[in-house]
């Protein structure tokens, strides 16, 4: 059977912005970007995004640990996140992507958020997104 899998990410999303601006301001290389909104017309707005992500973990999935990896990268650039979010009207979020095993003998992922992360997210006006699915049977 497939085991649990999980990753955490931080993203800045919005309309009509160049993700390269975020990279320049934060000084952090993103894991992925989407610049589709950069050239979209005002009549049909499209979202662009800038994201940093942990690797997908398949052993002992612990959301506390995964989000702590992201938080350690973001804390030193908190003011820059606030600046770029305001100047480009961006929406910050922390996300968790989980694939849960159907194997009754597999451990349950440890899912939660520490106080330091919650405080940080409140300070930058971020929201939390958890995306999960049940793994396919093998």
Bridge partners for 15 per DSSP: 47
Question: For 27-81, what is each residue's pLDDT tens digit?
Answer: 999 999 987 655 655 566 667 899 999 999 988 899 999 999 999 999 999 999 9
Name the range with the highest mean pLDDT among 8-22, 43-57, 66-80, 96-110.
Answer: 66-80
In the chain, domain spans: 5-14+52-134
pTM (global) more than 0.85:
yes
Q: Which residues neighbour 115 within 8 Å (Cβ) at sequence distance 6 or greater?
A: none
Alpha-carbon distance values, 19 to 13, 58, 74, 103 (Å): 9, 29, 16, 40
**For the chain, counts of helices (H) and of strands (E):** 4, 5
């Amino acid at each position: 059977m497939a085991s649990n899998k999980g990753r955490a990410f931080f993203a800045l999303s919005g309309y009509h912005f160049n993700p390269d601006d975020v990279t320049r301001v934060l000084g952090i290389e993103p894991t992925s970007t989407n610049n589709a909104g950069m050239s979209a017309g005002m009549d049909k707005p499209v979202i662009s995004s800038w994201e940093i992500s942990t690797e997908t973990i398949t052993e002992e999935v612990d959301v506390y640990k995964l989000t702590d990896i992201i938080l350690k990268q973001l804390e030193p650039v908190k003011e820059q996140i606030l600046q770029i979010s305001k100047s480009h009207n961006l929406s910050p979020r922390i996300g968790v992507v989980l694939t849960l095993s159907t194997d009754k003998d597999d451990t349950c992922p440890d899912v939660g958020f520490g106080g330091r992360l919650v405080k940080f997210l409140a300070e930058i006006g971020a929201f939390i997104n958890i995306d999960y699915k049940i793994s396919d049977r093998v």
